[in-house]
Amino acid sequence: MWLGPAPLSSGAGQLTGLSVQQHPSDNCGPRRDGLTPYLIVLHYTAMTSPEAALERLCNPDHEVSAHYLVGQSGQIWQLVEEDQRAWHAGAGSWQGVDDINSRSIGIELCNDGMSPFPDPQMVATEALLSTIRQRHAIPASGVIGHSDTAPGRKSDPGPRFDWARLARLGQAFAPISDACMDVDAVAFSRDLTRIGYDATVPETLDAFRQRSRPWVTGPLDNRDMALARAWAQAVDAQAASA
């Protein structure tokens, strides 16, 4: 059910089973070139409270927004209608294309960037992802982090975000492999490109590890190789079955 005033037109009857509050932001516009969303981009707010995040995401001076905000206790606010282009991703690319804002739904998670994500927040995020993915036929591989689209420039949702938990529920991809492979930087870059990364960006290894091996540092190694290959093969298999 919706809480508060009349829901945004993209919400009523479409967020079935979720308690969503309306908090409209004017920081949005039409999607460009007739594009529709096929990605969901996860962010953290780098703020400690939902109130501070709502103020920023709705303030025209900041020129930033998202479609949804999820609080630490599992509250969900809708700020922008899903058919509109929210301003959440900025400069970046995925799968060789830019203007991620026109191609995605943006979800901000209230988190300071250093703290774990509480279980109620994860449960609400999982439910929200499920209903958005069903509505727009977005595959699990289309659920990505801001750091995936802008390695080096952005780090959210950060190493504390539990991608493996989402993957176990079928709501995202997290590479799983016990294998090791010889280190081959060219082959690794090729696999990153198959996944969707811009492999020409030096910080892409860090972004990849944030999804696959949080807190690991150092040069490319044989575990990175095997995990990238497993992820690339999973993306290929999903594309083939679509």
The confidence score (pLDDT) of residue 176 equals: 84
The confidence score (pLDDT) of residue 16 equals: 57
User: What are the two backbone dihedrals, phi and then psi, of residue 239, each rounded to the nearest 5 degrees?
Assistant: -65, -40
Q: Would you write out the chain's pLDDT as a tens digit for each of its 242 residues?
A: 222 222 333 343 346 568 999 999 999 999 999 999 999 999 999 999 999 999 999 999 999 999 999 999 999 999 999 999 999 999 999 999 999 999 999 999 999 999 999 999 999 999 999 999 999 999 999 999 999 999 999 999 999 999 999 999 999 998 888 899 999 999 999 999 999 999 999 999 999 999 999 999 999 999 999 999 999 999 999 888 87
The confidence score (pLDDT) of residue 4 equals: 24
Give 59's contacts (C-beta < 8 A, 6+ positions apart).
27
Q: Would you list the DSSP string of 1-31?
A: -EESSSPPTTTTTTSTT--EEE---S-EEEP
> Which residue is catalytic, options 51, 81, 82, 108?
108
Query: Is 126 tagged catalytic?
Result: no
The confidence score (pLDDT) of residue 239 equals: 85
Q: Domain 2-174, what fold?
A: Lysozyme-like (3.40.80)
The confidence score (pLDDT) of residue 67 equals: 98
The confidence score (pLDDT) of residue 10 equals: 39
Look up the pTM and report it: 0.92
Indicate where the chain has its CATH 3.40.80.10 domain(s): 2-174
